Amino acid sequence: MLDMILLEGHEAELRALLATADGAEASAYVLLGRADIAADPWTGKARRRLVSHKVVPVPAEDRISASSVHVTWSTRSFVRLLKQAEASGLTLGIVHTHPGSHAFFSDQDDRNETELLRIVTNRSGAGHRFASIVLGGDGSVCARLWTSPSEAAPCERIMVSGRRLVFHGIPAHADDEMLDRQARLFGPSFNPIVRGLRIGVVGCGGTGSPTAMLLARLGVGRLLLIDDDIIELTNLNRVHGSRRSDANAGLAKVDVLAREIRAADLGVEVATFKGWVGDARARDALRSCDVVFGCTDDHDGRLFLNRLAYFYGIAVIDMGVRIMPASKDRPYEMAGRVTLMMPGAPCLLCRGLVNPVRARDEALKRTDPAEYGRRKAEAYVTGGGDPAPVVVTFTTEAACMAVNELLQGLTAFRGDGGMKTERRRRFDAVEDRSSTCVPRPECDLCANDTIWGRADVTPFLHRIG
């Protein structure tokens, strides 16, 4: 099974680079990161995902000829880039246009690319591969991965990932009466896209539980739930689907949510992982997702998702709720926040939304509780204060904000421009506002496009510890 994430900025760069005044076909290269997934969490099958990492123009001296029905160029730059890609653990892709039609692979493409694979095999040996992408003049995209002279594995679907989320290759589904009313709003293509989505929800508490329930009601085809906590009595005021008997039994939050979603019989496949999001056993599941909702207040977990978004081009929609009680000297403070993390947007660190010291202490508590206790006793670590106040209406409203942002990315119902990189809402003042932020020049994530779409690296996400 093969799919591809094409970063929105890379797709725009390719279309601008390959636009020709005379309508002739044009070509370019793209270097692709790879995510080799041993088993996705819903089917258990192996999956390979290619992620666009860098666009490389064909050198002017290598261009030979082009017309409305063909384009040819020298293989010198192909061989040079092939060597570079192999040295960096990347996959080389060729890109060309069909400006007068939709994206498809012609018989001539088959012949030309078979010859390119022969070059790859002669140079690097059997088993080496390259990718091919076609951009149609109507906005369509198709792609495949050549693995042998007799076989090119098709990308079952391609996601253009950015502030807008565009899918190519998702098959049409039969009319779904359950989802008819949202199709009446967003059109007949909406439900098949939603049914094809694979979405992760990290943190299944006050914001994560309503997020999961909302996504299930939308008809999202596959949900991944990640949380390491159990239901307690103090969770019952805000964790959707939870019961007193769940708290008495100490059931895992992921199991409670999965039970409720399956019982609703909405056609949603649910996979669960009880553990910390950064656990190596969760990597295949996370890398299989199209979008991830960050619903955890764990700073170390949010730092992990912060890196995942940039390395894999997976949009992470992070949310937070801040609720402060009123006092004699201070009014209520009730606010929700939804932040988009992905290449091209400022990250959580640059926005000041994650505390690295708290993240460090959370990691210590998780990996070495005894040392954490010793340092806390000596006041070298933070945390352990009174629990923050929380009310279900506000956590649920934050979840609605986040899921509506996903809908904006899919439908542009708020107008062109895609998802906002951040939205804030004051619940106590009925006030919405957007914030502006730019990456810090020294940030190794959002200001460093050398890791965008890099996908699998060692150590994972270049994260130590």
Taking only the tens place, the pLDDT of each residue in 139-188 is 999 999 998 887 899 999 999 999 999 999 887 776 788 999 999 999 99
Q: What is the pLDDT of residues 220-274, one digit of tens each?
A: 999 999 999 999 999 999 999 999 999 999 999 999 999 999 999 999 999 999 9
Q: Give 150's contacts (C-beta < 8 A, 6+ positions apart).
A: none
- Cis amide leading into 459 (omega within 30): yes
The rounded distance, in Å, linking the Cα atoms of 277 and 341 is: 16
pLDDT of residue 378 exceeding 70:
no
The rounded distance, in Å, linking the Cα atoms of 172 and 116 is: 33
Question: 406: which DSSP letter?
Answer: H
More confident residue, 1 or 271: 271
pLDDT of residue 381 exceeding 70:
no
The rounded distance, in Å, linking the Cα atoms of 213 and 217 is: 6
pLDDT of residue 2 exceeding 60:
yes
Do the Cβ atoms of 334 and 397 come closer than 8 Å? no
Q: What is the pLDDT of residue 364?
A: 80
Q: What is the pLDDT of residues 413-447, one digit of tens each?
A: 999 989 999 999 988 876 556 667 889 999 999 99
The rounded distance, in Å, linking the Cα atoms of 132 and 143 is: 6
DSSP string of 227-243? E--B--GGGTTTSTT--
Q: Would you kindly state where each structural domain of the chain is located, as residue ranges?
A: 2-161, 177-462
The rounded distance, in Å, linking the Cα atoms of 200 and 183 is: 23
Do the Cβ atoms of 203 and 272 come closer than 8 Å? no
pLDDT of residue 452 exceeding 80:
yes
Q: What is the pLDDT of residues 76-132, one digit of tens each?
A: 999 999 999 999 999 999 999 999 899 999 999 999 999 999 988 888 777 789 999
Q: What is the pLDDT of residue 376?
A: 61
Sign of CA dihedral 399, 401, 405, 408: positive
| Stated pTM of the model | 0.91
Q: What is the pLDDT of residue 329?
A: 83
Find, among 105, 21, 118, 24, the residue nearest to 72 by Cα: 24
pLDDT of residue 409 exceeding 80:
yes
Could you name the CATH architecture of 2-161?
3-Layer(aba) Sandwich (3.40)
pLDDT-wise least confident of 12-21, 134-143, 254-263, 365-374: 365-374
Q: What is the pLDDT of residue 69?
A: 85
Q: What is the pLDDT of residue 334?
A: 85
CATH code for the structural domain at 177-462: 3.40.50.720
Q: Identical fold at 2-161 and 177-462?
A: no
